[in-house]
Structure 1
Amino acid sequence: MGYVMALLAAVMWGVSGTCAQYLFEEKGVSPSWLVCWRMVIAGTLLLLFALFRKKSDAKRIWLKRRDVFEILIFSTLGMVAVQFTYFYSISLSNAATATVLQYVGPVFVVGFYAIKLRRLPKPNEYIALALALVGTFLLVTHGSFDALVISEAALFWGLLSAVSLAVYTIQPVQLLRRFSSPTVTGWGMFIGGMIYLMVSNPWYLSGTWDMGTYLAFAYIIILGTVIPFSIFLASLNIIGAQTASLLCSVEPLSAALVAVAWLGVTFTGMDWLGTFFVVITVALLTLSKRTVKLPALRAFWKLKND
């Protein structure tokens, strides 16, 4: 049952990105508007889950100045950054490409800790880095050195999404040692949404709002955030973090399949090969014993919810 739950969470996250592409391309919804209200609404629901769970520590996070400072930093530099760069990358390319590019993020995490701990990467980490580079190259060039198959802006924001994911993964490590994942994620998303609310213009309802728009938006909030987050946490207790994390590496693949089947996104053989290489990269890093011991990699899977 735990295997099914972890896989289902990964698929639901992947479909969430495709729903966002549908809102951007078919309904004219602004990425900025979607990011704001996704964080506010989903953050509120996750925070309620954190507040009313057994042995809740959601209120305790505000008792010490250090914790308050760290959750505010995580909300802005972590949560807002990773949400906006990912959704904006989707609006410039497609859900499949944006999701695959974001999944290069764990490679940046490994690189950061290699520098911080002053150690050379292990052989399998070198292999993962090579696969990530080759996969990204195939995805954005289709193997040609002459031109990109996506815009330079899409590539820039896609890679920035990967870097943001690395920051989002590394920054809250200490918080996750003192507080539960629902508490950190719930407060991070809610506070980030409220901050974004003050600097954006979310009151203007952009795009065409019909039944399809409402359903896609509801999916992103409920089935693309709250429910997969909950069932993934439950799967950790059944099959363990490493196995659940490995199964969740199918998220880019699910995003690609749904984007092709539903929205008619053109995905060539080179795109599939690039996606496969990135998925293998995440799998290698997950299976690496030394990498799994890194608290930030554990944080990545505890916090994963886009």
Structure 2
Amino acid sequence: MKKISGNTGSVFLVIISAMFWAGSGLGAQLFFVHSSENAMGLTAFRMILAGILLSGICALSGKIRPGIKKLLHSPRLFLDIFIYANAGLMLMAYTYFEAVHVGNAAAATVILYTSPAMVIIYNSIRYVRLPSRRDIITVCLAVSGTFLLVTGGDFSKLSVPLLCVELALFNGAVYAFSSIYPKHIFLQMDKTFVLALSMLLGGLSSWALDPGMHWSAFLASDVRLNVFCIVVLGTVIAFLLYNIALMYISPQQALITAAAEPASSVIMSWLFLDMDFGGVQTVGILLVLTAIIVPALMKK
């Protein structure tokens, strides 16, 4: 009975974290409406502040000293974390925020969740093997859903800016890389410590790319709530809840419940941003969500 209760609670935590991630996308969309700061500046502020907050959590739990000691004994790990921080987390945050900036949070979030299909195609090419029936279903659903979402049924034009589509697809590829690359790091070091250090390193790199950003702009009264949703809820708390939940549920269950993020983004956009989705676009969104859920169910 306790196992069932713990499992249910963990699934609930994943859903909450997914909703917070979706909320950070809406927060970014509203931020760009009220602020002249660009996506790189928002990336720098988000990652540096989140890194500081996560470092504080690590300090309270006594994880900083063991983490530093591990890095001193294994300098290669620091290089791996640096790659993860910049080619993974920083690039993932920037391309997502830029996609939201030129398009909207709902479209960017749904399209980036075609990343499982990208991994399948990549593995098929790399290992020169035909995909399984489950993999073929995943790719077909994801591609069809994205196509319907971005065209709205009118194949002569796009209902979503082309740059938003390109950035979201690239973001999906970076998302896939960020999910695969750090596995060997997490096996050797505490996840929260790695995430805190990666956030700081990625934030400093993005700040170097946009040294003219105005820090005070992120504390203005008209964007303060949006920044809170992006940094605190959508980054620090979301990652912590998700990592806690992964200790008690299977990867398949985590994948199924992760579909709550694009679904939440669409629902929140409809509720709070008055965005209307046509019938064809709705079908496209449902196909992408199905592409996330069905393969996990078939694997179970």
TM-score (norm 1): 0.87
In structure 2, the partner of 1:101 is 111
In structure 2, the partner of 1:58 is 67
Paired residues of 1:28 and 1:208 also in contact (CA < 8 A)? no
In structure 1, the partner of 2:4 is none
Structure 2 portions without partners, runs of 5+:
1-8
CA distance in 2, matches of 1:131, 1:240: 23
In structure 2, the partner of 1:298 is none
Relative to structure 2, which stretch is displaced further, 51-60 or 70-79? 51-60
User: Would you say 1:17 and 2:31 are equivalent positions?
Assistant: no
| Aligned AA (1:266) | D
User: Would you say 1:68 and 2:84 are equivalent positions?
Assistant: no
- In structure 2, do the counterparts of structure 1 residues 285 and 66 end up closer, same or farther at CA, with 3 Å as the change threshold? farther
In structure 1, the partner of 2:5 is none
Residue pairs, 1:188-207, within 5 angstroms: 188-204=198-214
| Aligned AA (1:12) | F
Shift of 1:204: 2.2
Shift of 1:110: 2.4
CA distance in 2, matches of 1:210, 1:68: 36
Shift of 1:80: 1.3
Q: Aligned Cα RMSD in Å?
A: 2.2
Which of 149, 172, 176 is the equivalent residue of 1:166?
176
Percent identity, please: 27
Residue pairs, 1:19-38, within 5 angstroms: 19-38=27-46
- In structure 2, do the counterparts of structure 1 residues 86 and 242 end up closer, same or farther at CA, with 3 Å as the change threshold? same
Paired residues of 1:125 and 1:284 also in contact (CA < 8 A)? no
Paired residues of 2:63 and 2:190 also in contact (CA < 8 A)? no
- In structure 2, do the counterparts of structure 1 residues 244 and 171 end up closer, same or farther at CA, with 3 Å as the change threshold? closer
Aligned length: 290
Shift of 1:268: 1.8
In structure 1, the partner of 2:97 is 87
Relative to structure 2, which stretch is displaced further, 57-66 or 249-258? 57-66
Paired residues of 2:113 and 2:262 also in contact (CA < 8 A)? yes
Structure 1 portions without partners, runs of 5+:
293-306
CA distance in 2, matches of 1:127, 1:50: 42
Q: Give CA-to-partner distance per residue, 1:15-57, whole Å, 9 cap, x none.
A: 1100110001244442221111001111222233345436665
Q: Secondary structure at the match of 2:129?
A: coil
CA distance in 1, matches of 2:213, 2:148: 40
In structure 2, the partner of 1:232 is 242
